[in-house]
Amino acid sequence: MATLETGAGSSTIVFAAAGADHEVVTPDPAEEGRIRAACDALGISHARVRFHIGPSHEVLPSLPERPLDLALVDGAHGFPYPILDWWAIAPRLKVGGKLLLDDAYMPPVLVLLDALGASDHWELAPAISYRTAVVHKRGDGLLPFDWEGTRVGGAMSFRYLPPPQRAVAAFRHRIFSTRAGLGLVGIARRRDGLRWRKTG
């Protein structure tokens, strides 16, 4: 598969493990070394992974064009950067290709998800996690030039999930985004780390 992501991390290792012809756009030059070292430690070839260093809104327009099967938008999350990433990636994505939008509950990402969901050229698919939405490209074409009353953006929301999952995700996020909740997550991770060391 021909793939691309903005942002880098564990997802980059997954793309490498899958053998994708993968491009990564990240502003942090040190990430390439860390990710390649992690791949080496895990025995994963990273020969087909190419890093492009710089802010995605500057790097993406300068990349050679190639048809993409899948793209992951997980770079800068401030407005309007997810939209700028989509704007540069959308023409490269094949009809039938998939766009993954990570942290889709954040308003700058959610406004893009809402706009794509109202378009004839894009179709929302079931989310792959409480924070990652999936959109299929159904055709080439621009979004409407004028606003047609479509609800876009707004406060933080998980409205792209089915109602039961939406309630669970909202509750979990509210609990674990507090200082006390983050403290509990830290304790659980340390406990898991100790358990792993004892059994490893």
Helix crossing, 81-89 with 107-117: angle to 10°? 40
Report the run of H or E that residue 123 belongs to, with start and end: strand 122-125
What confidence tens digit (pLDDT) does each residue in 67-126 have? 999 999 999 999 999 999 999 999 999 999 999 999 999 999 999 999 999 899 999 999
Taking the model in full, what pTM does it have? 0.77
| pLDDT at 7 exceeding the cut of 90 | yes
Percent of the chain residues past pLDDT 70, beyond the cut: 88
pLDDT of residue 175: 76
| pLDDT at 197 exceeding the cut of 80 | no
pLDDT of residue 192: 62
What confidence tens digit (pLDDT) does each residue in 145-176 have? 876 666 676 667 788 899 888 888 888 877 77
CA distance 7 to 11: 9
Which DSSP state fits 65?
P
Percent of the chain residues past pLDDT 90, beyond the cut: 66
Query: What's the average model confidence in pLDDT over 43-60?
Result: 97
What 3-state DSSP class applies to 51? strand
Which fold, 2-153?
Rossmann fold (3.40.50)
